[in-house]
Homo-oligomer: A and B are copies of this chain.
Amino acid sequence: MDEEAPQKGTVTQRAIEEIKAMIAGGRLEPGQRLPTERDLAVQLGISRSSMREAIRALTVLGVLEARHGSGIYVTALEAGDLLETFGVVADLSRGPRLVELLEVRRILESTATALAAARITADRLAEVEKHLTAMNATDDPEEILAHDLAFHREIAGAAGNETMAAILEGLSSRTFRARVWRGYQEEGAFARTRREHAAIHRALVARDPEAARAAAAAHVGEVEEWLRARLRPD
């Protein structure tokens, strides 16, 4: 058995696996700086070009971070870093898959809201109220969307599971929401949305997890059903 790996796939792919293994194996800690591109290339016996492709790939995955002029670093490897790419899925999905994404969001969001009802702090609840008020005080769709996102983001954060919050963040990415919400709100769903948000807020104030779960599920489910119906005729 030779020390050299027996050429599986492209050299770049091998380099990617190699660096991933270094991190998984603890040889590289979060936040730590890596050797230079040039040194890494020599270590793995490949060209700098190929090494750069590997680094770029791990960068978009949120595993590494390249700082121009400074060096390459391992990210904190927190949920937010690694799940940032989840937004890409939402942005590139169309048709039936959008419904599936909303179904996943309904399941996670309802659970997260239920957990939040039991755990949310007074400070955080005040933050939620702030966005709820701001959302109802304007007619600018852009602003409404922003506060809507923040409203759910605060709640997801209060659930105490960063991974879940990061996934929900990806499932609610700005472009994704904008695409679906546009049509939904055009049908005069503003009033309904406000009622649903108010119901979620009431459940949080009452610290009633089951009511919160039901309100959140209904909220997302409304959009889900609307989208499902909209795709049916096609």
A8 to B23, CA, bound (A): 30
The answer on a CB contact under 8 Å between A85 and B56 is: no
A85 to B88, CA, bound (A): 11
**Residues in B neighbouring A49, C-beta threshold 8 A:** 49, 52
CB-CB contacts below 8 Å: A133-161 with B: 161
**Residues in B neighbouring A85, C-beta threshold 8 A:** 61, 85
CB-CB contacts below 8 Å: A94-140 with B: 97, 100-101, 103-104, 107-108, 111
Q: Which of A162-170, A180-188, A202-210, A225-233 contacts B (4 or more CB under 8 A)?
A: A162-170
Q: What's the least CB distance linking A73 to chain B, in Å?
A: 15
The answer on a CB contact under 8 Å between A100 and B88 is: no
Proximity string of chain A (1-30) to chain B, C-beta cutoff 8 Å, 1 when within and 0 when not: 000000000001000100010011000000
**Does A41 reach chain B (CB closer than 8 Å)?**
no
Taking beta carbons and an 8 Å cutoff, which residues of A are in contact with B? 12, 16, 20, 23-24, 49, 52-54, 56-57, 59-61, 63, 77-79, 82-83, 85-86, 88-89, 91-93, 97, 100-101, 103-104, 107-108, 111, 161-164, 167, 175
13 chain-A/chain-B pairs, Cβ below 8 angstroms: A16-B60, A57-B59, A60-B60, A60-B61, A61-B88, A63-B88, A77-B93, A85-B85, A97-B162, A97-B163, A100-B162, A107-B111, A108-B108
The answer on a CB contact under 8 Å between B92 and A12 is: no
